[in-house]
Structure formats: structure tokens, C-alpha cells
Amino acid sequence: MTAQAQRTVLTYGTFDLFHPGHVQLLKRARELGTRLLVGLSTDEFNVLKGKKSVMGYEDRKAVLESCRYVDEVFAEEDWDQKVADVTRLGADVFVMGDDWAGKFDFVADHCNVVYLARTPGVSSTEIKQRMRVQRPADMHA
């Protein structure tokens, strides 16, 4: 493949409790290019976002790195690094789930921005809620 045919896709996320929705997002993102780079939110950044992951950064990173659609994983440490990352990594396409629609339109000055539809019926938040509901019953078993 020639350098002209290379197309780098960039996405970001927490990717906690890796599930089929994550797989579909990464697969569809990778289909937009030849290389998929993932900015993975650090534990410290998640705290700033008001999120708490079940899995720590290193474990989430290991899972992402094992996904065949992902070529590289790097730390996402703050909201403001997106444009610098696009430039540094030579990204052609910036991809996020459509729950973020419009929030990253400012990146369109630097590359193509695509918001992909979420996989219906699955999210890390839903999984965590189901775990909380099931936990008390499991304790009495």
C-alpha cells in the first residue's frame, strides 16, 4: 500500500467493561481508514470527567491493544489535546459515537469528523447498572 493510500482514523474513549458496542464502534471506525489510533482516557482524566472505571487504565489499554481493529493506543489526558493529536498523528478522520454529536465539530478544521451511531441496547453504563442491581441478590445466594 502506498503512502497516498494510507488513511489514519482517530477516536477516543474510556472503553471500560469492553463489550460488543465497543467492538462495533472500533470496527466501523477502522473501515474508514487503514490505521486506527485510540486515545484512551486515563484514570485521572476520567476523574475530571466525573467517571469511575471498573478497570484501570493499564487493563483497559491491554484489552484495546488486543483488538484486531486497533493499531495503536495512547493516553488521553485532557479535553484540549484533540487538535494537537490530529496534527501529531496525521489523522485524516476523527470518529466519535453519536452521543457526542456536535461536541467535536471544531476538529473539522483539521480533518474529517464522523459521528457513528451507537450499538442499540448496550453500554458500559447499562452494564454497571445491571451489576449494581444484581449484586445484592448475589450476596444472599
Residues involved in catalysis: 49, 51
Give the homologous superfamily in CATH for domain 3-139: HUPs (3.40.50.620)
pLDDT by residue, tens only, the chain of 141 residues = 555 589 999 999 999 888 888 899 999 999 999 999 999 999 999 999 998 888 999 999 999 999 999 999 999 999 999 999 999 999 999 999 998 999 999 999 999 999 998 876 666 566 556 555 665 555 444
Cell 503512502 belongs to 3
SS3 73: strand
Q: Rounded to an integer, what is the distance from CA 79 to the centroid of its chain?
A: 14
Per domain, the residue ranges of the chain are 3-139
